[in-house]
Amino acid sequence: MLILCLFLLQGLDYPISGTHGAVASSSTLASEVGIEILKKGGNAVDAAVAVGFALAVTHPTAGNLGGGGFAVVRLADGSVQTLDFRETAPEKAHRDMYLDEAGNVIPDLSTKGHLASGVPGSVDGLLKLLENKGSMSRELVLAPAIALAEDGFRLSVALAEDFKDVLNSMSAYPQSMAVFSKHGVPYEAGELFRQADLAATLKRIAKQGRADFYEGKTASLIVAEMERGRGLISATDLKKYASVWREPIVGSYRGHEVYSMPPPSSGGVLLVNMLNMVEPYDVASMGWGSSSVAHLMIEAERRAYADRAQYLGDPDFVDVPSARLTEKSYAAQRFANFDANKVIPSEKISYGTWPIESSETTHYSVIDAAGNAVAITTTLNWGYGNRIVVTGAGFLLNNEMDDFSVKPNTPNSYGLIGRAANEIKPGKRMLSSMTPTIVVKDGKPVLVTGSPGGSTIITTVFQVLLNTIDHKMNVSHAVAAPRFHHQWLPDRVIYETRALNADAVNALTGKGHVGVMLSPWKIGAANSVAFREGRLEAASDPRRDAVGLAY
Query: How does pLDDT run across 333-372, given as a tens digit for each residue?
Result: 999 999 999 987 777 666 554 343 335 789 999 999 999 9
Read off the amino acid at residue 187.
Y
User: Residue 422: which residues within 8 A CB-CB, separation 6 or more?
Assistant: 312, 313, 314, 403, 404, 405, 430, 431
Residue 458 lies in a domain: no
Exposure of 41 in the CB half-sphere (CA atoms within 13 A):
4
Domain containing 239 equals 57-244+376-422
Quickly count: other Cβ atoms within 10 Å of residue 287's Cβ. Answer: 12
Query: Rounded distance, CA 217 to CA 508, Å?
Result: 57
How many structural domains compose the chain? 1
pLDDT value at position 415?
A: 59
- Reference 320, options 391, 390, 420, 426; nearest CA is 420
Q: Please identify which of the residues 58, 361, 362, 379 carries the catalytic annotation.
A: 361
pLDDT value at position 352?
A: 54
Residue 117 lies in a domain: yes
Is the C-alpha dihedral spanning 52, 53, 59, 65 positive or negative? positive
Query: Rounded distance, CA 126 to CA 131, Å?
Result: 9
Query: How does pLDDT run across 278-333, given as a tens digit for each residue?
Result: 999 999 999 999 999 999 999 999 999 989 988 999 999 999 999 999 999 999 99
Q: Which residues of the chain have pLDDT under 70?
A: 1-13, 348-359, 409-419
pLDDT value at position 418?
A: 59
Residue 547 lies in a domain: no
pLDDT value at position 411?
A: 64
Q: CB–CB of 484/314 below 8 Å?
A: no
Count of residues in the chain:
551
Q: What is the dihedral of CA 79, 433, 549, 195, to 10 degrees?
A: -110
Residue 196 lies in a domain: yes
| Bond preceding residue 490 cis, omega within 30 of 0 | yes
How much is the mean pLDDT over the chain?
92
In sequence order, what DSSP letters do the residues of 136-156 get, joined into one string?
S-HHHHHHHHHHHHHH-EEPP
Residue 145 lies in a domain: yes
pLDDT value at position 358?
A: 31
User: Residue 551: which residues within 8 A CB-CB, separation 6 or more?
Assistant: 18, 20, 21, 35, 38, 39
Q: CB burial class (10 A; 0-12, 13-18, 19+) of residue 519?
A: middle
In sequence order, what DSSP letters do the residues of 317-369 get, joined into one string?
TS---HHHHT-HHHHHHHTTT--TT----GGG------------EEEEEEEET
Residue 523 lies in a domain: no
Phi, psi of 373 (to 5 degrees): -135, 140
Angle subtended at Cα 522 by Cα 520 and Cα 525, rounded to the nearest 5 degrees: 160
Give, in order, the Cα–Cα distances in Å from 496 to each of 10, 101, 505, 513: 15, 41, 12, 17
Give SS3 for 246: strand
Give the single-character DSSP code of 478: H
Query: Rounded distance, CA 415 to CA 351, Å?
Result: 17
In sequence order, what DSSP letters do the residues of 374-433 get, joined into one string?
EEEEEE-SSTTTTS-BPTTT--BPP-GGGGSBSSTT---TT-----GGGB--TTPBPPB-
Angle subtended at Cα 412 by Cα 408 and Cα 413, rounded to the nearest 5 degrees: 170
Phi, psi of 226 (to 5 degrees): -60, -45
Q: Is 111 a catalytic residue?
A: no
Angle subtended at Cα 149 by Cα 220 and Cα 434, rounded to the nearest 5 degrees: 75
pLDDT value at position 34?
A: 98
- Reference 322, options 254, 250, 379, 394; nearest CA is 250
Query: Rounded distance, CA 349 to CA 304, Å?
Result: 10
Residue 503 lies in a domain: no
Q: How much helix, strand and coil, in percent to the nearest 5, is found in the chain? A: 40, 15, 45
Residue 205 lies in a domain: yes
Q: CB–CB of 238/223 below 8 Å?
A: yes
Quickly count: other Cβ atoms within 10 Å of residue 245's Cβ. Answer: 12
Read off the amino acid at residue 218.
T
- Reference 199, options 390, 98, 57; nearest CA is 57
Give, in order, the Cα–Cα distances in Å from 492 to each of 266, 271, 361: 21, 20, 23
pLDDT value at position 453?
A: 86
